[in-house]
Amino acid sequence: MSEDLIAGRAPIAVRTEALEQLLVERGLVDPAVMEKFIQTYESDVGPLNGAKVVARAWTDPEYRERLLAEGTSAIKELGFGGPQGEHIVVVENTASVHNVVVCTLCSCYPWPVLGLPPSWYKDPAYRARVVREPRTVLAEMGLDLDDDVEIKIWDSSSEVRYMVLPERPAGTGNLSEDELVALVSRDSMVGVAKVSASPEGDVQ
């Protein structure tokens, strides 16, 4: 293994592949099991699932009501569930209320609909500061909210995991459900960003 890899200067994909090879060579990981995990997170778990939930809620008022009343079961209607997705509560952003999700004690996260938590979500600085000074933290992350917008912080735990139903952006009334899916970003479902009327490209 090169010094660059050891020093952590190689791209993440290269380092991941090197680590996988090492674990397989030492008999610590079954390649078939590893492949199954990779396939699961590429195809069955991730922000794309959450984007589909959001797009359905935007286009189907009855589904939206079920989603806000009983998130877990409504999400399962679309085929998404499993570990870390047993107790999901969905909170809705509006013009006057903006919801943000955090896990102050760890990094609890609804994996079936949002995938693995990003590094910033697990960072102690985010977990501590977004509770105390949410408006400032959101501004630092590129989201400026008007002073009259109420910010609500939801603390996820192993018992309850939260997901944000972002506001549907103006000018998207003629878009299909599939086209709306492409607009929804992972960050908007955590509450640190809004949905733009043009594709974000980070749902997969």
Catalytic (active-site) positions: 103, 106-108
Q: Which two tokens stand for residue 200?
A: 């974000």
65-to-68, 71, 91 alpha-carbon distances in Å = 5, 9, 11
171 φψ region: left (φ > 0), alpha (ψ -120 to 50), beta (else): left
Q: Is 144 helix (H, G, I), strand (E, B) or coil?
A: coil
What Rg do the C-alpha atoms of the chain give, in angstroms? 18
Residue whose C-alpha is closest to residue 100's, from 138, 72, 63: 138
Query: Taking a C-beta distance cutoff of 8 angstroms, is the pair 88, 162 a contact?
Result: yes
